[in-house]
A and B are shown apart, each in its own frame.
Chain A
């Protein structure tokens, strides 16, 4: 169905826009920047797609970040994301306007939607891309980490349209906002009936202290895993991070246990960090975690288990009880600071 007779009928780069907390998600704004570059190479333009309710302000915001037009579908039942009606809206609009490229953020909702949609409309979808380029044949080169980050795979979708990709959040820069930038808000009608509503969100619980994570910019990252045993032990890492002038992060296990917010998470499904020094405390080193930190300049592992895979990828390691090693490390750094010049990351 989506192998078009004439691929040139499909034009334009589309971005699925997600809003949260009264503004567009960072990843949506990042994608608008990516889309501008791709559209320039394809000689086409950028459209945002925004299913929602009372969402016109987000459409204006998207235009200021680079959309030439925003397809706005408003319905009270689209106020929060659920799979079925959003899939219907996207499938309908794609069928109606035939974009060449369709981009999603690789967020939980972006992946939930993309996964359902690509099967329904039968086209290719590459997940979690970290680079998106146009190749010499004019196809979208969808580049994503594979095999636990050990390589980068170039995915092509040569015949089917649209070419769809989800992009990892916080890999691409947010383009500058251009206040007053002109663009069209196109109101689209997609009939949503009760039959299309099968999921009801009956409860929402927000993570406490959600403030945006500094870990991607930190020169030193002190990261804790399940070995910390208890959320209150993250205090040990905070003290160490303070002495080092670094930020605290965590493995997925610690995040999933609810010890620290999702923003702290390093790894394949979290953030990718490349600090001068990554201190892995009580993190065994699953490949999914390594994918998010193995490009760090130096890695220090602290773990009781000398067989932890983290020791195989580190530059420095201490095999020992983190509850003794970490406070000792904090203490000695403080001591050395007191007697000598301030220990800092070498520039």
Chain B
């Protein structure tokens, strides 16, 4: 199956849609059930970066996720974008894992897939926003890493990644295998292709593994073996805003707006 080019493994997560992020008033955790979900947006940029390497250099792209069987949706979408095959790591004992066991479980899954040259993650997820899993995987696999990457050039034994830092850009040259965490909006992710969808429909592209299949130590994962816990969640009280919306002729709309701002004392008359 694999041609001569590099093998890429892309780790993705399925997250509640950004607009649907809601806190369950009872459990104080993120509502995940019955909420529309999507591929974590930066992960789509990671998929695109991997697929561009494949467009140019050949090789194959394996997409991996860890989560409940419903995450198959995300894998199917990634396959329809052009990934070659997918691995779903799913096991009840993984539930409640924080970034330490998550990075461990994914690194062991990647190790089992084997033969990888490039690893990709989105820079962070929109539901947890840590950005710790990609570098954590690199730490476990003891490979190089380039985080906050927006452009990547694959050169065989090395890669050069353009990395965003606070005051500019750095270009890091690293040996492969290398973990690359990709900036949100780094590129324009391709849509699913029709041929891709047909391939997905035919089936057989997704491998499902449990912890036992991979050889993940059950005493290292799950909520019990996560160093951190969420002790409690405070709801942030936001002001209840009642929008005054103006439309139509800009001249009139602006005049009405300025009157309203003055009347409300936001701008003095």
Which residues of A are at the interface with B, using a C-beta cutoff of 8 A? 2, 20-21, 82-84, 87, 107-109, 111-120, 122-128, 135, 141-142, 145-160, 198-207, 210, 244, 252-253, 256, 262, 268, 276-277, 286-288, 294-295, 298-301, 306, 309, 311-321, 324-325, 328-329, 332-333, 336, 340-346
Across the interface, do A318 and B257 meet the contact criterion of CB distance under 8 Å? yes
Residue B70 lies at the interface, judged by CB distance under 8 Å to chain A: no
B55 at the interface (CB under 8 A from A): no
- Chain B residues with Cβ below 8 Å from A20 are 166-167
Task: Give every chain B residue within 8 A of A125 (Cβ-Cβ).
Answer: 99-100, 130, 132, 227-228
Q: Say whether B269 contacts A199, CB under 8 Å.
A: no
A135 to B231, CA, bound (A): 11
CA distance A113 to B134 in the complex (A): 11
Q: Are B135 and A83 in contact (CB under 8 A)?
A: yes
Instruction: Give residues of chain B (113-164) contacting chain A, Cβ–Cβ below 8 Å.
Output: 126-140, 144-148, 150, 160, 163-164
Give the residue name and chain of the A residue nearest to B161 (CB): A199
B186 contacts which chain A residues (CB < 8 A)?
256
Which A residue sits closest to B246, measured CB to CB? A318
Q: Quick check: B227 and A83 within 8 Å, CB to CB?
A: no
Proximity string of chain B (45-67) to chain A, C-beta cutoff 8 Å, 1 when within and 0 when not: 00000000000000000000000
Cβ–Cβ contact B148 & A112, under 8 A:
yes
Contact among B140, B174, B257, B260 for A329, CB-based, below 8 A? B257
Are the C-beta atoms of A311 and B132 separated by less than 8 Å? no
A253 and B185 contact, Cβ closer than 8 Å, known pairs A150-B235, A311-B245: yes
Tell me if A127 and B234 are in contact (CB < 8 A).
no
Among A119, A145, A210, A301, the residue within 8 A (CB) of B104 is A119
A343 contacts B131, C-beta separation under 8 Å: no
User: Do the beta carbons of B258 and A336 come within 8 Å of each other?
Assistant: yes
Contacts of A316 in B (CB 8 A): 243-246, 257, 260-261
Distance from A105 Cβ to chain B, minimum over Cβ atoms (Å): 10
| B-chain residues with CB within 8 Å of residue A317 when the two chains form the complex | 243-246
The reply to whether the CB of B268 lies closer than 8 angstroms to some CB of chain A is: yes
Q: How far is the CB of B225 from chain A (nearest CB, A)?
A: 10
B23 touches A151 (CB 8 A): yes
A selection of 24 A-B contacts at a CB cut-off of 8 Å is A108-B165, A115-B131, A116-B136, A119-B140, A124-B98, A124-B228, A126-B228, A127-B130, A147-B21, A148-B126, A150-B238, A199-B145, A199-B174, A201-B171, A204-B168, A206-B168, A207-B168, A288-B126, A300-B257, A300-B261, A312-B243, A328-B250, A341-B268, A346-B267
* Other A-B pairs, 6, CB within 8 Å; known A151-B235, A244-B267: A116-B138, A123-B100, A156-B231, A306-B247, A325-B254, A332-B258
CA A268 to CA B41, docked complex, whole Å: 15
- Asked if B236 and A319 make an inter-chain contact with CB atoms under 8 angstroms apart, the answer reads no
User: Which of A2, A142, A204, A333 has the largest count of B CB atoms less than 10 A from its CB?
Assistant: A204
A115 engages B134 (CB within 8 Å): yes
Q: State whether B233 touches A146 (Cβ < 8 A).
A: yes
Give the contacts of B219-269 with A (CB-CB under 8 A).
Answer: 226-236, 238, 241-248, 250-251, 253-255, 257-258, 260-262, 264-269
In the complex, the answer to whether A256 meets B18 with C-beta atoms within 8 Å is: no
Q: Are A157 and B170 in contact (CB under 8 A)?
A: no
Bound Cα distance A205, B228 (Å): 37
Pick the contact of B227 from A115, A152, A157, A256 — CB < 8 Å?
A: A157
CB of B183 closer than 8 Å to a CB of A = yes
Q: How far is the CA of A332 from the CA of B172 in the complex (A)?
A: 50
Q: Give bound CA distance, A268 to B42, whole Å.
A: 14
Determine which of A149, A306, A346 lies in contact with B265 in the assembled complex, contact meaning CB atoms within 8 Å.
Answer: A346
Question: A262–B166 contact, CB under 8 A?
Answer: yes
Is the pair A141, B231 in contact by a Cβ cutoff of 8 Å? yes
B242: A residues at CB distance < 8 A? 315
Give the distance to chain A from B121, nearest Cβ to Cβ, in Å. 10
In the complex, the answer to whether B236 meets A149 with C-beta atoms within 8 Å is yes
A277 touches which of B173, B251, B266 (Cβ 8 Å): B266
The residue that B174 contacts in the complex, of A111, A113, A119, A198, with Cβ under 8 A, is A198
Closest residue of chain A to B238, judged by CB? A294
Most B Cβ at <10 Å: residue of A148, A268, A312: A148
Q: Which residue of B lies closest to A107 (CB)?
A: B166
Q: B103 at interface (Cβ–Cβ under 8 A)? A: yes
Contact A128 B129 (CB under 8 A): yes
B200, chain A: closest CB distance, angstroms? 29
Determine whether the beta carbon of A329 is less than 8 Å from that of B234.
Answer: no
User: Is B268 a contact of A346 with CB atoms below 8 Å?
Assistant: yes
Does A315 contact B253, Cβ atoms closer than 8 Å?
A: no
Chain B residues, CB < 8 A from A298: 264, 266
Q: Please, how many angstroms separate the alpha-carbon atoms of A267 and B171 in the complex? A: 25
Would B268 and A344 count as touching, CB distance under 8 A? yes
CA distance A139 to B5 in the complex (A): 49
Please give me the residue from chain B that is nearest to A317 by CB atom: B245
B239 to chain A, nearest CB (A): 8
Q: B95 interface residue, CB < 8 Å from A? A: no
The smallest C-beta distance from A17 to any residue of chain B, in angstroms, reads 15
User: Cβ of A117: which chain B residues have Cβ within 8 Å of it?
Assistant: 139
> Among the listed B131, B140, B234, which residue makes an inter-chain contact with A111, where contact means beta carbons less than 8 Å apart?
B131
Residue of A nearest to B269 (CB): A340
Q: Which residues of A contact B174 (CB under 8 A)?
A: 198-200
In the complex, B189 has a CB within 8 A of chain A: no
List, in ascending order, chain A residues with CB within 8 A of B150's CB. 256
Most buried by A among B164, B184, B235, B267: B267
